[in-house]
Structure formats: C-alpha cells, structure tokens
Amino acid sequence: EDVKAKESITNAERLATEGDDWTQLCSIYNLKGVILFIDRKFDSALYLYNKAYEIGKNHSIDPIHLPRIISNIGECYAGENPALAFRYFDQALSLARETGNKIAEASIMGIMGRVHLDQNDLKSAETYLQSSLTLARALGLRRVMRQVYGNLVDIRLMQGKGNDAVVYLRQYHAVRDSLLNTAKV
C-alpha cells in the first residue's frame, strides 16, 4: 500500500512537471514533505517544503496555496528553534488572513498553540487554541478540532484542573468518533 502511494505521487509529480502545472507540483512537494515529516525525517521534509515554496514564488501561483507550506517550514524548526518557527508561523498566519484562507488560518493557529504548549507558555497556547477552535467549529474542521481539544486537555491537566480536562476529553472523543464513523461510511 505504501509502495503504491509513493508510486502514485511520483506519477503525479511527473505529470505536473510535464504539464508545467506549478500549483500541482507545489502541492505534491508539500505532500511529500508532510510524509517525511510524519516519519520524523525533518531535514528532508524541510528541503521539500522549501522546494514547494520556491516553486510557488518563482511561478507566481495563487498565494492562497502558500500559508500551509510556510507553516510546515516553521514546524520543522519548532523543536530546535521556536523563535524561528514563530517567524514562519506569523508569516503564514498573516498570509492566510490576507488571502482569506480560513482553513489554513484555523490550522496554523492550532499549530501555534501546540508549539506554545510545548514551550510551557500556557497562556499563549490557550489563546491560539481557543481562536483555532472557534474558527474550526465554524468551518466544520473536525481534525483541527480534535487536535485542539487534545491540547486543551493537556493544558487543563498542567493547570491542575482535572474536571475541565475531562470536559475537553469528552469533546475530543466525540470528534474523534465522528471522524472514525465518517471513515467507516
């Protein structure tokens, strides 16, 4: 299954290159970066994210496609250089808002909240997570909601507010279960 997926991505890359479809090629390199990021191959992921971003800039693709890529670059730096990561996140969030990309905006704010949480900055984490949650609810972004609820559980536990953590945990499970039911259908 993994081999077939990689083969499909390689074929899509070839077709996009042959057809000079720069928007598609940009998306393909971003996707390849995501796959490597999930496999914890951060340097390789960063290379592909930067390649996607450069293609986007050099071929004047619609900037609505760039915030997610810029945010992905930031995530590569989050563990070792949070200050640099936040520069990318701020740039991505600004561009998402400028282009009206609400989906990217909700996702990026959730990521920023998680990175603040990783830095034990609970106040900033909660601010970004609550903003992300509000937008994700309005847009019906269940995956973003699930991640935010999970992070809010962690915040409440760190604050010693177990009862509040349970409320978020229930919401987390409700969203997760709805995603699982959708996948089964």
Predicted local distance difference test score (pLDDT) of residue 109: 98
Per-residue pLDDT tens digits for 112-167: 999 999 999 999 999 999 999 999 999 999 999 999 999 999 999 999 999 999 99
For the chain, give the percent of residues with pLDDT over 90. 90
Residue 23 predicted with pLDDT over 90: yes
Look at residue 31 in the predicted model and tell me its pLDDT.
94
pLDDT at residue 78 greater than cutoff 90 = yes
CB-based contact 55:32 (threshold 8 Å): no
Q: Is the model's pLDDT at 34 over the cut of 80?
A: yes
* Stated pTM of the model: 0.89
pLDDT score for 181: 72
Check whether 66 has a pLDDT greater than 70: yes
So what's the pLDDT on residue 2? 77
